[in-house]
Structure 1
Amino acid sequence: MDDRAPRAATGRAKRGARVTIHDVAKASSVSVTTASQALSGQGRMALATRERVKAAAKALSFRPNAIARALLKQRSFTIGLLTNDTYGRFTLPVMAGISEALVDRGVSVFLCSVERDPVIGQSHVDAMLEKQVDGIIASGKRLDSRLPVDLSGVDVPVVYAYCEGPEGSVGFVSDDGQGARLAVAHLVDRGCRRIAHVTGPEDFAVVHRRAEGFAAALAAAGLAPVRAEPLIGDWSEAWGFAAAGALLEGPAAPPDAVFCGNDQIARGLIDALTLRGLRVPQDVAVIGFDNWEIFAAATRPPLTTVDMNLKDLGRHAGLTLLDLVEGRPVSPGIRKLPCRLVVRASSG
């Protein structure tokens, strides 16, 4: 068993000069080649040796020279992230997941917004390729739309995250139907039996996926919806407020729970119910979708909602792109990742 501890920092490191791989090799009593292989995960060596080198590098605050590493690996250790989500509502969590997944592997991410302009989009792609990025992740603000730039001809790997890619691409999306089933199952477990669905514009694919999940979960519980069809509107608090009137003033019995297509609709609905003297969740339980915390946590009462796990989606996209960059096989197709339910006070 090799139990030699890393030696003390060299005089050069103590004086604040840049720590090199030679310093790490000397401190861990191995050759420069062995030290380099240990830190890059290459070569064959005893686990104790690899761990000793890593401990020495950490003790010396060693940071590999990016240029030397790039020349050695013939890689830039950067990836580009393209998006048309100018507000960052969906892309920023995705980017956080990508960055967390890749930072320990020495890979940096830089973000470019293509907006709706194909000329701007192409200029960003050209700039990324000039910087010799190892790959590109395309991300957007809705699952059923493409970025205004064609990435099919680029000579680096491309992964799509929360946007539509071409046939045969590798992509990651949230499983909105599964998220809707989670929400309805929670309401049923709570004892709700008259459950309505208020959602956004019908030209969004997620509206249909969430509605299908809603209907499937009700059917599995042996329940019928309060209304034969979901109430369709837009993604706004104003629509949620207006929808409350339609639910309470129609001929059908009023609901004891409402599953909303997003958090803004849910917040507007709760405001309207409160103004009408109804208590949430005692009289009507409410669940949203997205877990946009600026809305969900500040709603009164705080909103139970479905989280699309966008950060986890970004992590999977980043690691998959890295697999492609490093030549590991990746099957084409769309991966649906599960949502999770964040339970707060609005559902009891």
Structure 2
Amino acid sequence: MSETDAITFRSTRQPTLVDVAQLAQVSISTASKALNGRSDVSARTRQRVVNAANELSFVPNTLAKSLLTGRTGTVGLITHDLEGRFSIPLLMGAEDAFGINKVSVLLCDARGDSIRERYHLGVLMERRVDGLIIVGARTDARPSLGRGIPVPVVYAYAPSDDPADCSIVYDNVAAGRLAADHLIVSGRRRIAIIGGDQSYGASVERVTGALDRLNQEGLEPAGGRAYFGSWTEAWGRAAMHTALTQYPDIDAVICGSDQIARGALDTLHDLERSVPSSVGVVGHDNWEILAAGARPPLTSIDMNLENLGRMAAHRLAEAMDGKQSHGLELVGPRLVVRGSSVS
């Protein structure tokens, strides 16, 4: 096929793999192998095929490719995170791991409803996705989808209650330890702990980690216990006021979330306790809109959700290649230091 023929061809119809093979002067099988990155094609031949495909503006037929490979190049991500605070970073990490133009991630929001989850599951199966990532709304164990799902499944953020499943979750105990360690290293010794809702595993685990680190130094939290309440700024204000009333010599506070920490900062300002010189404050989650906008900006423990998404995608890709992982894997926290804990 001459250059003139190629130009005329592009203007009349969609090019096919046959046309690419003819222009590159190779067999259809060789053209297919070259475009799919197979190792049994020489570099020189591959380049000739790629040049021909570019010249013809050839776009592979994804349906035909899926019939040949048994894959559609899509995975489903079903989330129960209504606000997107957790699922969006997870999605970004998963897409990074799968790679641009290699695997598309289809996002479905189940809104905390098991019936809606089943509906989305059915739709994704009809679309013949190659695998599934299931994201929970909280870090407590959730029911497994079961072992009858025809594609690999990875649970992210919230683990499956079946230990045979693959679950990638955030290490909340390590997060609590890291918060306490930062304050201890900064010279704080009279540390209050304001947890979130005690019915949430994340709240209890973060407190457990902080208490373990304090105990390692021979310290107790102010009052000998943690305060539990809710995940709100109002609770942070009230709990901070109670703690300071009972124990006015507090020099630091660990808060179970950034929302709680924002409330604690309000009370410290109202009582004219300087932050961080008088009282250091550490939050959890590193929710940028809250942490960076606080006065002063809030030191917080980041959940590394993009890393969690990347790990979930890696495990799913491995499972799609026949190397299934089982059990629980933990993603560690990251300390983000801002003005609320150090001058």
Q: Same fold (TM over 0.5)?
A: yes
Tell whether 2:116 aligns with 1:92: no
Q: Deviations over 1:273-299 (max 9, x none)?
A: 011111111111111001111111111
Q: CA distance change for structure 1 residues 340 and 108 in 2, over 3 Å: closer, same or farther?
A: same
CA separation in 2, counterparts of 1:51 and 1:181? 54
Q: How does 1:173-212 map to 2 (within 5 A)?
A: 173-212=169-208
Tell me how far 1:154 sits from its aligned partner. Answer: 1.6
Tell me how far 1:111 sits from its aligned partner. Answer: 1.5
Tell whether 2:240 aligns with 1:244: yes
Tell whether 2:226 aligns with 1:224: no
Query: After the TM superposition, which of the residue ranges 53-62 and 120-129 deviates more from structure 2?
Result: 53-62
Checking the alignment, whether the CA contact within 8 Å between 1:99 and 1:108 is kept in structure 2 is yes
Tell whether 2:102 aligns with 1:122: no
CA separation in 2, counterparts of 1:13 and 1:248? 79
CA separation in 2, counterparts of 1:223 and 1:59? 71
Query: After the TM superposition, which of the residue ranges 55-64 and 333-342 deviates more from structure 2?
Result: 55-64
The residue aligned with 2:33 is 37
Tell me how far 1:47 sits from its aligned partner. Answer: 6.3
The residue aligned with 1:337 is 331
Identify unmatched segments of 5+ residues in structure 2.
Answer: none
Equivalent residue for 1:307, pick from 302, 308, 314: 302
Give the aligned residue type for 1:335: E
Query: After the TM superposition, which of the residue ranges 203-212 and 36-45 deviates more from structure 2?
Result: 36-45
Equivalent residue for 2:291, pick from 291, 296, 312: 296
Q: CA distance change for structure 1 residues 74 and 246 in 2, over 3 Å: closer, same or farther?
A: same
Identify unmatched segments of 5+ residues in structure 1.
Answer: 1-6
Equivalent residue for 1:65, pick from 61, 67, 71: 61
Q: Alignment identity in percent?
A: 41
Q: CA distance change for structure 1 residues 57 and 344 in 2, over 3 Å: closer, same or farther?
A: farther
SS of 2:168's equivalent in the other structure is strand
Tell me how far 1:104 sits from its aligned partner. Answer: 3.0
Checking the alignment, whether the CA contact within 8 Å between 1:226 and 1:253 is kept in structure 2 is no
TM-score calculated relative to the size of structure 2: 0.87
Checking the alignment, whether the CA contact within 8 Å between 2:195 and 2:204 is kept in structure 1 is no
CA separation in 2, counterparts of 1:213 and 1:32? 60
Tell whether 2:279 aligns with 1:284: yes
The residue aligned with 1:3 is none
CA separation in 1, counterparts of 2:241 and 2:249? 10
Checking the alignment, whether the CA contact within 8 Å between 1:247 and 1:254 is kept in structure 2 is no
SS of 2:221's equivalent in the other structure is coil
CA separation in 1, counterparts of 2:213 and 2:43? 50
Give the aligned residue type for 2:126: E
Q: How many residues are treated as equivalent by the alignment?
A: 338
Checking the alignment, whether the CA contact within 8 Å between 2:112 and 2:137 is kept in structure 1 is no
Q: CA distance change for structure 1 residues 35 and 272 in 2, over 3 Å: closer, same or farther?
A: farther
Q: Deviations over 1:308-335 (max 9, x none)?
A: 11111111111211211122x2331010
